[in-house]
Structure 1
Amino acid sequence: MPDPRSGRRPAPHSRPVDPARSAALEVLRLVRTEDAYTNLVLPAVVARHGLDTRDAGFATELAAGTIRRQGTYDAILASCIDRPLRRVEFGILDLLRLGCHQLLAMRVPPHAAISSTVDLAHSKAGPGGAGFVNAVLRSVARRDLDSWVDEVAPDPSGSRNARMDHLAIQHSHPRWVVDLLDFAAPDGELDALLAADNVPPKVTLVARPGRSEVAELPGTPTPYSPYGVVLDGGDPAKVPAIAEGRAGVQDEGSQLVALAMATAPLEGSDRVWVDLCAGPGGKTALLAALAAERGAGVLAIEQHFHRAGLVRRAVGGTSGVPGIIGVVAADGTRPPLAPGTADRVLVDAPCTGLGALRRRPEARWRRSPDDLLTLVLLQRRLLASALTLVRPGGVVLYATCSPVRAETGDVVSSMLGSGGEVRLEDVRAVLPGVTDADGPVAGTAQLWPHRHGTDAMFLALLRRGSPRDAGA
């Protein structure tokens, strides 16, 4: 509209920048330049830009969705730009990806998607950058997403390599990740798994028994965990039980890991529970609530000091908190506890995180094939440490947020050749109601986002025997 002081229409570059889109662009920059995590930086960025609930939701979907679909959008952009993407300035590429997501995956009218992104480009990169963004996005707008995938991805009806390359572009996963998931996924379900990785997860809450009730939490009860609720909508931080630390935000798969560890059958002493890789503390908090009901306590061990601080915050401190023995910053492969003194041990091992790609959109672009060997060696050391730490007859629950077999069944199998001192028990017996979750080794369990609506958590239950058992 005309400027009331001059009667003239403002120049295009003087149009106000949309704060929600500006916030999304800031998230992309922080993820790219500071290795930030999307879900952790979004609340601060949303607050800094003063967004209301509606605009915060738009910015969240725009930022997270753009990062998830980055691989697809880069393939499309590469066909619309006359030079390699590596020669496009990073800030401009962020803007182009934001524009692609609005044009191809959000219900934003094309003219609004283009003009708002061009305005943002003008404010960040000047008229030259804005003109380039305008021209490229107009080319992108010529086709819908499916048509673009047909255009830029190899024909999937050819060789296996062509099919894997097609899926990598269609579902925006690095090719090496597609190969690993193809080996891990149930037969015929790779497409469904990859598609599920691009569906934003619903917010799931957990009531910590003895401290809150499921009835306090707004939403629909989860199908498997008796303590979970899928939030109907709104900000979980505004739920009183969450704000007071009596409940938490936790994926149902993670709840099931804690429940399986806590409910595995055990004879004799049941007082000392250990969470060997406790950060950031969600599972520890649920375990502590369950332990307190039985007169037991959890010793939380976390190698990194700042993550140990997150555990303390999650459990409400350590002094006098029911169910908590303590929170210790220490290496889980050398725990500060005498061998054979724990009754139950949880090893929620560091992993590639390829089972939580829907929740951590940047993870697929940060990992590399070289990470896998380093992580597998660490996972084996942690599981061996846990089996030394637990008493004869005690149990160890090994879990990863990954379905990759090198991190799941192979790690567990490597511990079973010790003459019978370690026995693998059927973890599915302590996962009542969970079906279609057979793991890669008999008796283990593998959850899937496309089947169970959870992260792809792997669970295995091991019991330490005694030398007498080994010779029996």
Structure 2
Amino acid sequence: MAERRPRPVDRARRAALDVLTAVRVDEAYANLVLPQVLRKHGLTGRDAALATELASGAIRMHGLYDPVIDACLTKPRLQPEVRDVLRLGTHQLLSMRVPDHAAISTSVDLVRATVGRGPSGLVNAVLRSISRRSLAEWVDQVSPDATADPHGHLAVARSHPRWVVDLLAEALGNDDELDALLAADNAAPAVTLVARPGLATVEELETAGGVRTARSPYGVVLPGGDPAAVPAVAEGRAGVQDEGSQLVALAMGDAPLEGRDERWLDLCAGPGGKAALVGALAAQRGAVLVAHERQPHRAALVASAVRALPGESVKVVAGDGARPAWTPGTFDRVLLDAPCSGLGALRRRPESRWRRTPEDVDVLVGLQQVLLDTALDSVRPGGIVVYATCSPVVAETTAVVDAVLSRRGDTDEIDRFQLWPHRDGTDAMFAATLTRRA
């Protein structure tokens, strides 16, 4: 009897598995590898959206899905490739409106095509067991008791490392909003565009279906579609940029300043989104922005981001920000978007919550203080420095600013703000505006 021919594998699910493999094996970033994978499989429209949701959701939520999967295993060890398929299937069963039979059968087909026939029975049995309970029922079974260990419960239920939950609670100041913040971290963010002043207008972006943002005068939320298909974005006159990042750039450009206002510095400019907005503001005022970036490949990204700006308005420079090549007091305005843990952008970078460690934060804090000292030394008396992080963690935000202020006798704080995904619909950006005393 002839062997039955295997069913073809769903292309969107195969693409999602390719993303999970690249993230696990090559330590790739999902948001960077995803467009390449979509092109490779020729996916657009609904199929591309499905692949994106599958990959992002499975990566983001595996802190919950793995205990659920393990609860259905008779043997604790799984091939990493098989676990990836099970994560994708679990996401469909517990967090998407995919019929159970479709989630299970496509997962069996996927593991058979990519790993072999051997694990197909196991995948079928595990996913059938998972399908017998709802998401809420599984959360109750695999997470710590919410009363006895509220942070431990939320760490599993909202799929965040426990140490991250603890630091976010500290940053909030209480637990009242903690669940709302963690839930916002797990929600797919809207695509937000920025109209770079002097190059594009908000009205132009609105013709692509965009809706104006609440706080940035240059921001537009795109309801769907490929932002690269918007002509202003394709031409570099506009870009994809979270409203929180726009507000940080505007804090640097709009802070009141007396005297000369001709020389601006973006000390850690890569990959270039803030540099492009700040550079556009500088060009309108006749100022010159030095976009400084330590890593040459990131400096190349900055050059690409500012390509539509007048050549004389932005100078891209590669160098070590801790050992600047310029004379102290050279600049009138300085933006320091400091290297940080990125724990304020977990909704955009699903894998980052699993890659960072508490030790990373300790190392970064030392670097942040050094760079803030450099930024303050680089600005003239009376000039402005904005210190920013894409992190709400106290050690990386207020503690860094307060530590530097306490040991310097020449600096005053003008303003500071903290944005939140669950309150503001932005990444959790922090910014403090400082001035050198004249």
Q: Which of these residues, 398, 414, 420, is aligned with residue 425 of structure 1?
A: 414
Give 2:255's aligned amino acid. Answer: A
User: Equivalents in 2 of 1:379, 1:283: separation in Å?
Assistant: 18
Deviation at 1:164, TM superposition (A): 1.1
Residue aligning to 1:201: 189
User: Equivalents in 1 of 2:408, 2:57: separation in Å?
Assistant: 49
Mapping for residues 43-442 of structure 1, pairs under 5 Å: 43-84=35-76, 87-158=77-148, 162-187=149-174, 188-217=176-205, 218=208, 219-316=210-307, 320-324=310-314, 326-418=315-407, 420-426=409-415
Local SS of the residue matching 2:405: coil
Deviation at 1:334, TM superposition (A): 1.2
> 1:170-189 CA deviation, whole Å, 9 max, x = no partner?
00000110111111114311
User: Equivalents in 2 of 1:387, 1:420: separation in Å?
Assistant: 11
Local SS of the residue matching 1:445: strand
Structure 1 unaligned residues grouped into runs of 5+: 1-5, 427-443, 467-472
Give 2:154's aligned amino acid. Answer: L
> 1:363-391 CA deviation, whole Å, 9 max, x = no partner?
00000111011000000000000000000
Residue aligning to 2:435: 463
User: Equivalents in 1 of 2:20, 2:251: separation in Å?
Assistant: 37
Q: CA RMSD in A?
A: 1.4
User: Equivalents in 1 of 2:358, 2:308: separation in Å?
Assistant: 38
User: Equivalents in 1 of 2:408, 2:169: separation in Å?
Assistant: 33
Deviation at 1:157, TM superposition (A): 1.3
Structure 2 unaligned residues grouped into runs of 5+: none
Deviation at 1:317, TM superposition (A): 7.4
User: Equivalents in 2 of 1:252, 1:296: separation in Å?
Assistant: 24
User: Equivalents in 1 of 2:44, 2:336: separation in Å?
Assistant: 40
Local SS of the residue matching 2:401: helix
User: Equivalents in 2 of 1:417, 1:243: separation in Å?
Assistant: 46
Deviation at 1:329, TM superposition (A): 1.1
2:23 matched to 1:31? yes
User: Equivalents in 1 of 2:8, 2:313: separation in Å?
Assistant: 53
Give 1:362's aligned amino acid. Answer: E
Local SS of the residue matching 2:64: helix
Give 2:170's aligned amino acid. Answer: F
Residue aligning to 1:469: none
Deviation at 1:114, TM superposition (A): 0.3
User: Equivalents in 1 of 2:117, 2:213: separation in Å?
Assistant: 51
User: Equivalents in 1 of 2:59, 2:150: separation in Å?
Assistant: 23
User: Equivalents in 1 of 2:57, 2:312: separation in Å?
Assistant: 40
Residue aligning to 1:432: none
User: Equivalents in 2 of 1:220, 1:166: separation in Å?
Assistant: 37
Residue aligning to 2:417: 445
Contact 1:185/1:193, CA 8 A, preserved across alignment: no
Moved more, 329-338 or 236-245: 329-338
Contact 2:236/2:308, CA 8 A, preserved across alignment: no
User: Equivalents in 2 of 1:355, 1:247: separation in Å?
Assistant: 23
What TM-score results when the alignment is normalised by the length of structure 1? 0.90
Local SS of the residue matching 1:111: helix
Contact 1:71/1:169, CA 8 A, preserved across alignment: yes
Deviation at 1:323, TM superposition (A): 2.3
User: Equivalents in 2 of 1:380, 1:419: separation in Å?
Assistant: 12
Number of aligned residue pairs: 434
Give 1:174's aligned amino acid. Answer: P
Cα 1:419–1:402 shift into 2, 3 Å? closer
> 1:14-45 CA deviation, whole Å, 9 max, x = no partner?
10000000000000000111111111111110
Give 1:176's aligned amino acid. Answer: W
Contact 2:235/2:308, CA 8 A, preserved across alignment: no
Moved more, 91-100 or 416-425: 416-425
Residue aligning to 1:431: none
User: Equivalents in 2 of 1:446, 1:352: separation in Å?
Assistant: 16
Local SS of the residue matching 1:415: helix
Cα 1:129–1:333 shift into 2, 3 Å? same
Deviation at 1:420, TM superposition (A): 3.5
Contact 1:288/1:322, CA 8 A, preserved across alignment: no
Contact 1:301/1:335, CA 8 A, preserved across alignment: no
Deviation at 1:419, TM superposition (A): 5.5
What TM-score results when the alignment is normalised by the length of structure 2? 0.97
Contact 1:257/1:459, CA 8 A, preserved across alignment: yes
Deviation at 1:322, TM superposition (A): 4.8
> 1:97-131 CA deviation, whole Å, 9 max, x = no partner?
00000111111000000000100000011111111
Contact 1:66/1:101, CA 8 A, preserved across alignment: yes
User: Equivalents in 2 of 1:202, 1:408: separation in Å?
Assistant: 25
Contact 2:392/2:428, CA 8 A, preserved across alignment: yes
Give 1:230's aligned amino acid. Answer: V
User: Equivalents in 1 of 2:245, 2:294: separation in Å?
Assistant: 20
Local SS of the residue matching 1:414: helix
User: Equivalents in 1 of 2:122, 2:225: separation in Å?
Assistant: 38
User: Equivalents in 2 of 1:216, 1:17: separation in Å?
Assistant: 41
